Amino acid sequence: MKLATKKEIQEIHKIFIEHYSDAVTELHYSNAYELVIAVALSAQCTDKRVNLITPELFRKYPDVYALADADIDDVKKLINSCSFFNNKAVNIVNMAKRVVEVYNGEIPLNEKDLVTLAGVGQKTANVVMIEYTGANLMAVDTHVFRVSHRLGLSKDDTALKTEATLVKKFKNDLHALHQGMVLFGRYICTAKNPKCDTECFLKEFCKTTESFKAK
């Protein structure tokens, strides 16, 4: 597979910004607490599914203080239609406890502190900061990984390496590029039956329609 040229990368950057400059996450949230939980739950689970789960969870546990005192089994019950719900329930309760104990009940909005929270890795931290603060960061989920490989932006075999490559190649507007690549991968450059001939506005830059998965 050929990699995109410098000129192609500039064009891809421009086209993504034209189409997705105002793109935001499809997860529903009203504050940083709800966003961290929604993003953590969305790992290997669809945003649509997460949006069905969170209203009742947030109604019952409206802030970190309530969640820190929650009964784990009750939280598991509320999120049991989400993948890996047992682990995620333990993580979000432990996350809330740490935010109460260490950060005075305020979700920290920098990567160094966010990644110390249970269930929050670099990708989740970056997604939270991209969405909540507009930070110039990239996060690589399955959609971004697939799109970046199909467009010849990366040949890396892991999400973290792909993230570093995209940051180096794109440099600016990373928050909008992340959101755009997610939506483009979710609705147009899909894993199966991508809409190459009907909806794709980047077809001329496509190097392959093969599907890719990060190790």
Q: Answer yes or no: are the C-beta atoms of 153 and 169 closer than 8 Å.
A: yes
Domain boundaries, the chain: 6-23+138-205, 32-133
pLDDT at position 46 is 93
Long-range contacts, stretch 210-214, CB < 8 angstroms, 24+ apart: 210/1, 210/149, 210/150, 211/146, 212/145, 212/146, 212/149, 212/150, 213/142, 213/145, 213/146, 214/140, 214/142, 214/145, 214/157, 214/158, 214/159, 214/162
pLDDT of residue 214: 82
| Active site residues per annotation | 123, 141
Provide the pLDDT for residue 213.
83
Class of domain 6-23+138-205: mainly alpha
pTM (global) more than 0.85: yes
pLDDT of residue 212: 85
Alpha carbon distance 113, 107 (integer Å): 9
Largest CA distance in the chain: 55
Confirm whether 6-23+138-205 and 32-133 share one CATH topology. no
Which residues of the chain are under the pLDDT cut of 50? none
Residue in 108, 166, 109 with CA at minimum distance from that of residue 137: 166
Read off the pLDDT of residues 56-104 as tens digits, 9 standing for 90 and up: 999 999 999 999 999 999 999 999 999 999 999 999 999 999 999 999 9
Q: Find out whether 101 and 111 touch, Cβ atoms under 8 Å.
A: no
Of the candidate CATH numbers 1.10.760.10, 2.30.30.760, 3.30.420.40, 1.10.340.30, the domain formed by 32-133 belongs to 1.10.340.30
